[in-house]
Amino acid sequence: EAIHCWRIYIRESTHRPQRCRYCRYKVKLAIIPWHEVASLWDEVRPLIEPAVALTDGAWEIWDVLNRLICNEADLWIIRRDGKIDGCCVAMIINYPSKRIYALTFIGGSGLKDWLQFEHVIGDWAKTQGCVAMEGCDARNGAWGRVLPGWHKAHTTIRRNLD
């Protein structure tokens, strides 16, 4: 079994992603600067759309793009051998007593392979003053089962007002 080596790549940093001597794939975790989101949108959009569709109309795909290009949300991508395999749209939420990093939309392939490295995003969130990360689990608690250390905090229910 190959060992997969993950490197964070932030454009403003001096760190460069490298091929790990143990990996057969070149894999990078990257946070995309707001001014580069448009250039990747055609690749990212199909990965995010299924998660947006689960919001019951609360979000449209263009709302997500607007948040990203207005620098109100962050786009994280997983790139394997030059192809985007997965992505996450995350936002800082300032509650009255806490600052939380919300992983709002996640999509892509091979999620189980790269979700174990969510601690890198958590470390970055800490540098932004966040004390926790949160996300919605629309599929019967699956995220809580695959992410160690995460727990169910609450369940959101909804009634449409027709």
**Which tens digit of pLDDT belongs to each residue from 12-67?**
333 344 444 444 556 678 899 999 999 999 999 999 999 898 888 889 999 999 99
Q: Are 114 and 5 in contact (CB under 8 A)?
A: no
What's the pLDDT score for residue 115? 67
Which has the higher per-residue pLDDT, 75 or 140?
A: 75
What's the pLDDT score for residue 158? 56
Q: Are 17 and 28 in contact (CB under 8 A)?
A: yes
* Polymer length in residues for the chain: 162
Q: Is the dihedral of CA 118, 57, 33, 40 positive or negative?
A: positive
**Which tens digit of pLDDT belongs to each residue from 119-157?**
888 889 999 999 988 887 665 555 666 667 766 666 665
Q: Are 101 and 128 in contact (CB under 8 A)?
A: yes
Single-letter amino acid, residue 2: A
What is the rounded CA–CA span in Å between residue 67 and residue 75?
10
- Read off the pTM: 0.77
Rg of the chain over CA atoms, in angstroms?
16
Residue 107: strand pairing partners: 87
What's the pLDDT score for residue 7? 38
pLDDT band at 95 (very low <50, low <70, confident <90, very high): very high
What's the pLDDT score for residue 66? 97
What is the rounded CA–CA span in Å between residue 60 and residue 53?
8
What's the pLDDT score for residue 157? 57
Which has the higher per-residue pLDDT, 74 or 13?
A: 74
71: left (phi over 0), alpha (psi -120 to 50) or beta: left
Residue 80: strand pairing partners: 27, 83
